[in-house]
């Protein structure tokens, strides 16, 4: 007989409130010197190479900053035109590489190669995986140690390295990767897509087979024969009444999956700080919202452009001005002036006339 005593009920699971782990800045902790290297670089780099949203977003950011070229004096241009990195680079491709690694790793590096007169003749990008920051007790960089596995460290003085640092905060002795903030998002997205893909693939292929026997050996033999016939597209002949197969059709809630993916998509581009419209992905956006997103990106990318110009001046003594991407502001103001039927407040709407009180 059923038990109706509510006092004997139990709670099978305990819900725990969400909380954020405590994180302290990576500050200099030794009175003499401290060392730091990014042990997460291979993980962040894996996300960059495996997930197209991360890769194309970061690539687009670097292209946006450098895509309009640069201006400088004739002497500096001659020097920069001879920069060839590993042999087939250009000054722009070296910087593009460094901007990408800056976002992926949090810090990016290039060796400054000089001639006997101490003039710059080349910039060669270095692998962040092998770079170690060494700072003194006051948190100032005193040297870099470049140590590929199994080799003796190569010591670089600060003026021998071009170092770009991303989102450094507090007194940390390194920058921060943008991938750290979107890791959960891309993993959730991949899980949803892969689970739905598996369901889609199996739907109609998996079969329920009713057999007229409980002999395990016969069941396994029939299962193998049936699977082989399906794989080869062959004909399976069995005695009548021995087995009957029924196709299994699972419930594919594709619209809910797409809704979840759209939410993750929006959250991703907000978190990484690069509008989806920059990459050409505007299928879920109106023209107006795509324009606003692009316009809002202007101050962010201009800040990155100015920071790069200042890094080159302070670290290399090179005065370079990178071209500015065309802004949509003028275009939007022109469209608004033409669109007198638009709902909202136009300039004509707020100008007082004779009949106004």
pLDDT of residue 242: 67
**What pLDDT band is residue 161 in, cutting at 50, 70 and 90?**
very high
Taking 60 as the threshold, does the pLDDT of residue 352 lie above it?
no
Euclidean distance between CA atoms 109 and 162, whole angstroms: 6
- pLDDT tens, residue by residue, 49-75: 999 899 999 999 999 999 999 999 999
**What pLDDT band is residue 233 in, cutting at 50, 70 and 90?**
low
Segment 33-41 mean pLDDT: 92
Q: Are strands 161-165 and 107-114 parallel, antiparallel or unpaired?
A: antiparallel
Taking 80 as the threshold, does the pLDDT of residue 87 lie above it?
yes
Closest by CA position to 125, among listed 142, 113, 114: 113
pLDDT of residue 244: 66
Position with higher pLDDT, 287 vs 185:
185
Position with higher pLDDT, 173 vs 253:
173
Taking 80 as the threshold, does the pLDDT of residue 264 lie above it?
yes
Q: Which residues have C-beta within 8 Å of that of residue 249, sequence separation ≥ 6?
A: 203, 204
Q: What is the DSSP letter of 327?
A: P
Q: Are strands 33-36 and 131-136 parallel, antiparallel or unpaired?
A: antiparallel
- pLDDT tens, residue by residue, 299-351: 888 899 999 999 999 999 999 999 988 876 655 555 555 555 555 544 444 44
pLDDT of residue 247: 60
**What pLDDT band is residue 26 in, cutting at 50, 70 and 90?**
confident
Q: Work out the widest C-alpha separation in the chain, in whole angstroms.
A: 98
Taking 70 as the threshold, does the pLDDT of residue 137 lie above it?
yes
């Amino acid at each position: 007989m059923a038990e109706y005593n509510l006092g004997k009920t139990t709670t099978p699971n305990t819900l725990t409130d969400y909380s954020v782990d405590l994180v302290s800045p990576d500050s200099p902790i030794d009175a003499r010197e401290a060392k730091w290297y990014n042990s997460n670089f291979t993980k962040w780099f894996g996300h960059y190479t495996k997930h197209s949203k991360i890769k194309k977003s970061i690539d687009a950011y670097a292209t946006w900053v450098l895509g309009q070229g640069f201006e400088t004096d004739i002497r500096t241009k001659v020097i920069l035109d001879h920069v060839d990195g590993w042999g087939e680079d250009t000054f722009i491709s070296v910087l593009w590489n460094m901007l990408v690694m800056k976002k992926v790793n949090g810090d990016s590096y290039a060796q400054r190669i000089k001639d006997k007169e101490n003039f710059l003749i080349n910039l060669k990008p270095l692998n962040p995986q092998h770079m170690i920051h060494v700072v003194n007790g006051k948190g100032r960089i005193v040297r870099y140690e470049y140590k590929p596995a199994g080799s003796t460290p190569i010591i670089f003085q600060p003026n021998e390295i071009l170092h770009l640092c991303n989102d450094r905060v507090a007194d940390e002795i390194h920058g921060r990767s943008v991938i750290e903030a979107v890791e959960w998002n891309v993993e959730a997205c991949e899980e949803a897509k892969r689970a739905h893909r598996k369901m889609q693939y199996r739907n109609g292929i998996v079969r329920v087979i009713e057999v007229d026997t409980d002999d395990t050996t016969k069941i396994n033999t029939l299962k193998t024969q049936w699977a082989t016939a399906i794989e080869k597209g062959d004909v399976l002949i069995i005695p009548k009444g021995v087995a009957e197969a029924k196709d299994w059709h699972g419930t594919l809630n594709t619209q809910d999956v797409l809704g979840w993916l759209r939410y993750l998509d929006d959250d991703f581009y907000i978190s990484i700080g690069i509008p989806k419209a920059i990459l050409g992905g505007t299928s879920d956006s109106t023209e107006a919202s795509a324009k606003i997103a692009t316009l809002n990106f202007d101050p962010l990318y201009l800040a990155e452009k100015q920071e790069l110009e200042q890094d080159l001046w302070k670290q290399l003594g090179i005065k370079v001005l990178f071209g500015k991407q065309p802004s949509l502001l003028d275009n939007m103001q022109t469209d608004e002036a033409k669109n007198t039927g638009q709902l909202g407040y136009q300039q004509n709407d707020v100008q007082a006339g004779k009949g106004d009180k």
